[in-house]
Amino acid sequence: MAITIVHLALDRSPYNYYDGGMPRTSTAKSRFIETAVALFRARGYHGVGLAEIIEQAKAPKGSFYFHFPGGKEELAEEAIRYAGGYLPHLMQKYFAHSNTLAAGIDGIVTHLARNFEASGWSLGCPVASVMLDTTPASERLSRVFEEVTEKWIVCISENFERFGEPEPRKLAIRFLIALEGAWLVARVLKSREPFVEAVSSVTAGLK
């Protein structure tokens, strides 16, 4: 079963897995990064060995340390930044076609819930899966998580502000808390219900 899940993830980048809108790249460095994201997403940072990443990436072994002289931790840093680019991409896609803030939030969360269910409730947020394994132990990765999280908050806030939200940053943080919590609870319950409640909690009182 684990092998099936891994291959499902490796067939598509984090972008393609959700919406099919971003083509995969073909350089050795990109293959290492995309493979790491897929494997980390399925099993966490400590559940994946470097040898497996190199093997699954189907890239020359000798090129790994050329691209990542800092080893697995440096690869994880690049993988986090890469995976972290997905949420802004998704927000642009949905908010560009939404008439209200509530509709945009519902579209994004429903999209993520649908794909989480399609993965057998196993492939959640790739950033969170690594963060839970490595912070605060790794100062290097902790700094990257802080960077990515702040970028998420800024991106979400900007989108919320465009819809006239008076306290966009506060609502953006609330949205992130609800979304990440929904992934965790849905994994246990094997149900979309936590995502439905996440939308309700964030959109309550919105126009």
Q: What distance in Å separates the CA atoms of residue 109 and residue 123, rounded to the nearest whole number?
A: 15
pLDDT at 65: 94
pLDDT at 25: 52
Which tokens is 135 given?
A: 């912070």
Q: What distance in Å separates the CA atoms of residue 76 and residue 94, rounded to the nearest whole number?
A: 28
Which residue in 185, 36, 178 sits closest to 108, CA to CA?
A: 178
How many CB atoms are closer than 10 A to CB 28?
17
pLDDT at 207: 63
DSSP secondary structure string for all residues of the chain: -HHHHHHHHHTS-HHHHHHS-SPPP-SHHHHHHHHHHHHHHHH-STTS-HHHHHHHHTS-GGGHHHH-TTHHHHHHHHHHHHHHTHHHHHHHHHHTT-SSHHHHHHHHHHHHHHHHHHTTS----HHHHHHHHHTTT-HHHHHHHHHHHHHHHHHHHHHHHHTT-SSHHHHHHHHHHHHHHHHHHHHHHTSSHHHHHHHHHHHTT--
Question: Average pLDDT per run of 10 along the chain, which is 207 residues long?
Answer: 33 41 66 96 95 94 94 97 94 92 95 95 94 95 97 96 95 97 97 97 85
Which superfamily, per CATH, for 84-203? Tetracycline Repressor, domain 2 (1.10.357.10)
Q: Which amino acid is at 144?
A: V
The residue ranges of every structural domain in the chain are 2-83, 84-203
Contact between 39 and 56 under an 8 Å Cβ cutoff? The reply is yes
Q: Own/partner pairs for 172-178, CB < 8 Å, 24+ apart?
A: 174/201, 174/202, 175/105, 175/202, 176/149, 176/152, 178/202
pLDDT at 153: 97
pLDDT at 14: 44
